[in-house]
Structure 1
Amino acid sequence: MFSFVSRSFLTLPLLLAALAGLALPVGAQPAADVGAQPAADAGALPPGVSAALARAGVPASAFSALVVPLDTSAHVRLSYRASAPVNPASVMKLVTTYAAIDLLGPDFTWNTRFYSDGVVSQGVLRGNLYVRGGGDPKLVLERIQAAFMNLQDQGVRVILGDLVLDHSAFELPAIDPGAFDGEALRPYNASPDALLVNFKSVVLTFQPDPAAGVARVTSEPPMAGLNIDATVPLSRTGCGDWRGSLQARFNDANSIRFEGRYPGSCGERVWPVAYQDPASYAARSLEGLWRATGGAITGAVRAGLTPPGARLLHEARSLPLSNIITDVNQWSNNVMAQQVFLTLGQLSPTRVLTESSLADRLAPVRTARFERSREVVASWWKRTFGLRYAAPVMDNGAGLSRIERITPEALVGLLRHAAVHPKGEQFVQSLSIAGVNGTTARMARGANSAARGNAWLKTGTLRDVTGIAGYVNAANGSRYAVVGFINHPNAPAARPALEALVEWTAAQPD
């Protein structure tokens, strides 16, 4: 019988937020204008932007921006070092998600398939159960539970064989999750996988029990062979750095221990962490979920390939691409962006360049690799924009990179193109709305904000980078494409300059 009840519908937004990225340095170069004729003062920074840069100790030479009306006959409002190649941080996700909308279509779905090489009789599968990952970016607990329940409804309750996990749709090098910034346990550093289960994360929940003097610890998903301390003593200290107070120990793949105390003043808190042994995450979590849903297994849970003659038992379809890119862009989800980027690499760059039919674009023809994704996106960019804008330098498609580069004028070109694309509305609606949701929910909070509810934006932040790009509806009735970047060691402190840029755009008078 089904017994595991997930709390993921409560914790998933927290986990999505935890999957957003961090930081790194980059230089800048001089720029030129693009697009329509500039207005007379298009090169002068708005006073609010200049003041915010000065307060943060950031020189204007580290700032790049372009504000252009979607009406191509109207004047450019601002062009400042607009052809300078910059590190865009997570704003690069706009290239990945728009290429996906154009090449795959908003209704595209991924499939996780369940096969068997045995016979099912009286609730027993005499053989192996194979789970073949198809790159689903959001294969979360509830959807896995639903698939397992479907299998059990078909009579597969006991597996007299192995549970074999097939990751072969993606061909990826071994990845050190801490290589980027030394933060291996941060969920935003989760690596992509053809069988990406629940973002390779363990969600810990702490609930104080003052009568017992402890905080009770629960976790999801259930992980085979992972022991987690069920309680941690309470302290009377202020909440503050409650995670540090726990003195959590993640050095053993088979356990999570707490050597400190949990501040009772914190109330209930949730802590998503990347599992310390990501290579075994899928095996441990799928075995734990199978058993928690009432299933049994006599063999091992291991990686392997699906044999050609295996029989398909169930196909679990993902959410459509339009839903996936909303998580990618509103919450800046790094691993989901990389899943989408890798999926593009399964297409033929020749077909991308020469074929226009949807059927040709949807046909995956090769195993996904990052280099193949870069090849496909380069071909798509050439077909879409020709030589008008400098092609972006792509790495993993998520912006969690030291080497990715793009110019503000290239991003504005993309935004303008998307605004008139027959299926571009799903791309626009995937962006965070200033003062309302996603990564810009805390922007435009002032009583007199003109941008609140009128700006659809993608943000980006690394250690030495901050950026913003999207659309702004202005008071004068015009709609603008807005792009701004700061590449400087003090970039995070200068984020108010980008917010000032958005407010200035939204407040454009009649």
Structure 2
Amino acid sequence: MRALIAAGALFWAQAGLAQTTTPPPAAPLPLAVLQALRQAQLPEQALGVWLQPVDGGPPRLAWQAEKPFNPASLMKLVTGLAALEQLGPAWTWQTPVWLTGRLQPDSGRLTGDLVIKGVGDPKLVRERLWLLMQRLRQLGLREIEGDIVFDGSAFAPWPAAPADFDGEPWRPGNAAPEALLLNHKAQVYRFRPDPVRGQAWIVGDLPLPPLQSSVPLANGPCGDWRGALRLQWQEGLPLRFAGAYPAACGELSWPLADPEPASYNARLLKALWQEAGGSLKGQVRPGLAPAEPASLWFASPPLAEVLRDINKNSANVAAEMLLLSLATDRPATQEAAREQLRRWLAGKLGEEDFLLENGSGLSRQSRLKPQQLGRLLREAWASPLMPEFVASLPLAGLDGTLARGGAARFGAAYGRAHLKTGSLRDVSALAGYVHADSGRRYVLVALLQHPRAGAGRAALDALLQWAVQDGTAPTP
């Protein structure tokens, strides 16, 4: 953290001295954007914009494009493109598994341990862990007389706690990245109203013991149903709901981080192995993997597929695990991975006038300029990896973080813009590619940073509409 603070001081000192590019004359913001900003009580100075044809030429709009902004989750664009270039779109995480001792083919009894070593695969979720258990069964394994051992030594301990960023440790996106992160150490709870009994049943998506079977039903509109449940979440204690569930909500689900993360891997591995029909005489514990060759390797989906999940759903933990996977040394540290990403980005931009704290954008310190992100997006468009990169971005009105609102919200931009979104308490952002009415494609970057940034979504939507119209809508 001291190194980051020092780097930040250097960044701010340099930011006002040297520019590697001469900023174009500031064009006025489109009228619809100005009106939306004023309605949201946001100053024009809170917004930075870069709109440029993907094939180059002068920008159609450059507004405060040389001003540093917090990129929020637009940071995932940097991490994702770096990973595609350095690892390749077909690259996979290969998780090694050992069956130590002797496996008796007739009985399926293993006289030793089952060992799983994490390598940073961010897709070891419920469904894929089920596949791993089936692979073990296909080897003939039925009974483990020893232990199930899990090794997470490939990554150094994460320097931040889940509550450090926003004080909400129950959010799965705040989980710490680990070399062996199973199901993001979370569970999805589904609430099923039962009007006859006057309660809502709580059903988890994992074969773990239920923490609470039901909550009372409440009358009235659905509204803030999560607030009405009055979640009681404290690390190390069982999760509880002290409120009631509105019957008008129907059946809804709530993904929550497990309040006992230290024991989560052990509890889940044991439960999944038993669910698969296996038996275990020993315990499930952390440990180190053996030095000999693995008995099997469990491959993740290809990087291009993982990146779609990261960008479309803005998966913070997966983005940090991807960044750590780029580090060359083991155990991988956040500092080493961040430095490698910083060098890569500096090489792309030909400058170091930026500040990176992590790979997900879950940061208060990171700073990038709209024109820097615009240049990076143009680099990506000209790259052989462009199809995989663009396909990873949410499609306006159709999927990912841009699904909400559909055609009613996005109008002419519906289905015609691939854009990464970014959102923090004081940041709202969009960046990606727009297919305009003329048939031309543009790089669009919009960064809004202000305590009221959340009220500025309409301004970003108006900017997107203006870009789809090739910037021909009225300006003041």
The verdict on a shared fold, with TM-score over 0.5 as the criterion, is yes
1:134 maps to amino acid? V
Question: Paired residue for 2:434?
Answer: 472
Shift of 1:395: 1.5
Question: Paired residue for 2:75?
Answer: 92
1:207 maps to amino acid? R
Question: Paired residue for 1:414?
Answer: 376
Question: Paired residue for 1:377?
Answer: 341
Q: Is there any run of 5+ residues in structure 1 with no aligned partner, and where?
A: 1-26, 347-364
2:421 maps to amino acid? T
Secondary structure of the residue aligned to 1:432 is: coil
Judge conservation of contact 2:204–2:210 (CA < 8 Å) in 1: no
Judge conservation of contact 1:238–1:265 (CA < 8 Å) in 2: yes
Judge conservation of contact 1:248–1:257 (CA < 8 Å) in 2: yes
Matched, 1:194 2:179: yes
> Residue 449 of structure 1: which of 396, 411, 415 is its match?
411
Matched, 1:256 2:239: yes
Distance 2:444 2:22 in 1: 14
Change over 3 Å in CA distance of 1:316–1:381 after alignment to 2? same
1:207-253 CA deviation, whole Å, 9 max, x = no partner? 12223333222112223xx4422222323333223223333433474
Judge conservation of contact 2:310–2:316 (CA < 8 Å) in 1: yes
Secondary structure of the residue aligned to 1:228 is: coil
Distance 1:509 1:489 in 2: 28
> Residue 214 of structure 1: which of 172, 196, 199 is its match?
199
Shift of 1:170: 0.8
Question: Paired residue for 2:420?
Answer: 458
Question: Paired residue for 1:238?
Answer: 221
1:332 maps to amino acid? S
Shift of 1:331: 1.0
> Residue 157 of structure 1: which of 120, 142, 147 is its match?
142
2:337 maps to amino acid? S
Distance 1:35 1:478 in 2: 25
Distance 2:226 2:376 in 1: 41
Matched, 1:43 2:5: no
Question: Paired residue for 2:37?
Answer: 53
Matched, 1:297 2:280: yes
1:452 maps to amino acid? Y
Secondary structure of the residue aligned to 1:394 is: coil
User: Alignment length, in residue pairs?
Assistant: 458
Distance 1:494 1:249 in 2: 32
Judge conservation of contact 1:147–1:314 (CA < 8 Å) in 2: no
Secondary structure of the residue aligned to 2:379 is: helix
Question: Paired residue for 1:321?
Answer: 303
1:103 maps to amino acid? Q
Secondary structure of the residue aligned to 2:295 is: strand
Matched, 1:331 2:310: no
Change over 3 Å in CA distance of 1:254–1:124 after alignment to 2? farther
Shift of 1:258: 3.5
Shift of 1:201: 0.7
Distance 2:229 2:42 in 1: 37
Matched, 1:68 2:30: no
Question: Paired residue for 1:117?
Answer: 100
Distance 1:103 1:337 in 2: 15
Secondary structure of the residue aligned to 1:343 is: helix
Question: Paired residue for 2:3?
Answer: none
2:343 maps to amino acid? S
Judge conservation of contact 1:31–1:84 (CA < 8 Å) in 2: no
Shift of 1:191: 1.3
Judge conservation of contact 2:60–2:471 (CA < 8 Å) in 1: no
Deviates more, 1:279-288 or 1:481-490: 279-288
Secondary structure of the residue aligned to 2:413 is: coil
Shift of 1:447: 8.3
Distance 1:403 1:42 in 2: 27
Secondary structure of the residue aligned to 2:411 is: coil
Secondary structure of the residue aligned to 1:312 is: coil
Distance 2:241 2:158 in 1: 33
2:239 maps to amino acid? I
Distance 1:145 1:198 in 2: 11
Deviates more, 1:284-293 or 1:228-237: 228-237
Secondary structure of the residue aligned to 2:407 is: coil
Matched, 1:486 2:448: yes
Shift of 1:342: 0.8
